[in-house]
Amino acid sequence: MFFPEAFINKMAKMLTEAELEKLKTALDTPLRKSIRVNTLRGTTKEVVESLESYEYVVDKMPWYKYGYFIKTAKKQAIGNTYDHYLGKIYVQEASSMLPVIALDPKEGEYILDMAAAPGSKTTQMCMHMKNTGIIVANEPSIQRISPLQDNLDRSGCINCCITRNDGRKFSHYTGMFDKVLLDAPCSGEGTFQKDIKARYVWSQNKVIENSRLQKQLLDSAIACTKKGGTIIYSTCTLSPEEDEAIIDYALNKYDNISLEKVSFEGLETSQGRTEFDGKEYNKEVKKVIKLWPQKTNIEGFFVCKMKIDE
């Protein structure tokens, strides 16, 4: 299967030859289908029983009580089940659930989802908050507002305010939010497993362009988070320029932030790199986590938990 040469060369700088071959094999292996139970609409018990009645095999994720892997010998798509129509389940990649678990949204909090569409993580936060507090679900692209609204409505989310702003403008709202989720626009290398087209549009130039925007968005997230507040910076990419380098930039620029370790029970994660391609990063970057598809059997992902010091 096709992979961009520059991408493979980059991965070869981080992985052994054997690991690189495992990565390529993993990216050419179909993803396991996964869903999240939406407890705003139903209980895990009734949803599991319903899916099993459709002859789905349902396996609970070790690291998340609302996440399940599913498979079936039938051709019926999970999106055509009543559970999906009624908003009792949300079809969501397993790795996509991790940033919200790390953010740990609580009832009554004021939270910014800086790049919200299509709403996977927004609806997940609503569920954890039991529709209390406020989520500002920001999406800069007008074409993506409608899918976001549809998913919020179907999931029964009533504590959300949708905005359409450049995420960088939230820097004007100093210390406003208890927590900020920045699932940043990225090159999407982690999605190569499910999206073959992503391999053909990938380029190193786009990685560099993304990194500039990611730094600016993280600047904005830091500015608008309260003292003592939490920021999750996440991407679905594997490039250090979009991951560890962005956190290194923030640590070197700000003296009021610190990183917290994140772990997920039953899920193998790798710590952040402290150097890449001749560049050294802040040693604290070890506290971030990266998920490699060949180790986790889910999409590649990056998660960093950041606190604003009081």
DSSP β-bridge partners for residue 257: 308
Strands (E), the chain: 33-37, 57-60, 67-71, 89-91, 110-113, 134-138, 160-163, 177-183, 225-235, 257-260, 270-271, 275-276, 279-280, 289-291, 301-308
224: annotated active-site residue: no
Q: How many other C-beta atoms lie within 10 A of the C-beta of residue 109?
A: 21
Instruction: Classify residue 207 by burial, with Cβ atoms within 10 Å: 0-12, 13-18, 19+.
Output: buried
The two tokens of residue 33 are: 């289908």
Helix (H, G, I), strand (E, B), or coil: what is residue 136?
strand
Q: Taking Cα atoms as reference points, which of 307, 310, 259, 256 lies closest to residue 282?
A: 259
Asked if 277 and 289 count as a contact pair (C-beta separation under 8 A), the reply is no
The one catalytic residue among 126, 160, 186, 236: 236
- DSSP β-ladder status, 275-276 and 270-271: unpaired
Annotated catalytic residues are 236
